[in-house]
Amino acid sequence: MTLGVPSVMPQKTAKIGDLLRSGMPKFSFEMFPPRDEQADAVLWRTIRALEGQNADYVSVTYGAGGSTRQKTVETTERINSETTLLTMAHCTAVNHSIAELRNLIGHFANVGVRNILAVRGDPPGDPRADWVKHPDGVLHARELVELIKESGDFSVGVAAFPEGHPRDADWDTGVRHFVEKCRAGADFAITQIFYDVDDYLRLRDAVAAAGCDIPIVPGIMPVTNIKQIERFAVLTGMSFPEALAERLRAVADDRDAIRDIGVEVATDMGSRLLAEGAPGLHFTTLNHSRSTRRVWQNLRP
């Protein structure tokens, strides 16, 4: 990549924004870079299982404050070079200057990544802490979208928040900010995980009413661990239905029963979302795919 010159992809790969407008639901899976050899083995068992079942694409997350920057690039490159899967890399603005972001985007281009999820990101250490702009960085996600789009022929996704963004003053402000990201050049969006389908439909309809027709993919995570999902809800502000929590607590000592409930609920959600016209589903796997693959099999035509 030459500084100041838009990147040219080493090969033409599919754009997720185009795939999501094809009329057929697309199923995708979120991974995170492994921290050690054992985690690497777990990730690659999952990758191979998804490849064998023809997942539409996989995404690789980016640690808070860029803590997994190199591993994100390496993991994405390996998936690109060693599998047939389409990849999407996450890119966050936390603690990065514009120069560092350009360098990262160039790295993605060099390893064949054409699809990037642009998110402002959470402050490292405490997602609820005040967000501090890097002195030479960007303040808003829409600026990151603009930076990526001007850097090459990328398909750019953004985050969506069915229950509203925790930092927005109110619902309408959140919708306005989301639409601004889309008009900055985003091709599609993926939501934070949620457990009330009506929240997704409310967001989708509000965005459409604002004149934005971007595909919004619901983020789904089948529950496999009660404490894990409760902690996630605290960190993100996500609502977790009390009725579901009671069902899970009633079988708290039975891991298989918890997984079965998680698969049942996620399947029901996915079925309704697809019936309502969602362009696909994006599964948070935490690098384990057994439950998500069960849901996927339940929903595939």
Which has more pLDDT, 127 or 272?
272
The overall average pLDDT reported for the chain is 90
Query: pLDDT by residue (tens digit) across 232-247?
Result: 887 777 888 899 999 9
Among the listed residues 144, 137, 153, 150, the one whose alpha carbon sits nearest the alpha carbon of residue 120: 144
How far apart are alpha carbons 293 and 47 in whole angstroms? 12
Select which of 30, 77, 143, 163 is catalytic.
Answer: 30
How far apart are alpha carbons 82 and 253 in whole angstroms? 39
The predicted structure's pLDDT at residue 175: 94
Which has more pLDDT, 226 or 118?
118
30 is catalytic: yes
Q: For residue 8, is pLDDT > 50?
A: no
Q: For residue 31, is pLDDT > 90?
A: yes
The predicted structure's pLDDT at residue 62: 84
How far apart are alpha carbons 6 and 285 in whole angstroms? 33
Q: Quick one: average pLDDT of 275-297?
A: 95
Quickly state the pLDDT bin for 161 (edges 50, 70, 90).
very high
- The distance in angstroms from the start CA to the end CA of the chain is 42
In this structure, the number of other CB atoms found within 10 A of the CB of residue 18 comes to: 12
Helix (H) or strand (E) holding 51: helix 37-52
In this prediction the pTM is: 0.91
The predicted structure's pLDDT at residue 228: 85
Secondary structure in 3-state letters for 110-159: HCCCCEEEEECCCCCCCCCCCCCCCCCCCCCHHHHHHHHHHHECCEEEEE
Q: Quick one: average pLDDT of 154-174?
A: 91
Quickly state the pLDDT bin for 9 (edges 50, 70, 90).
very low
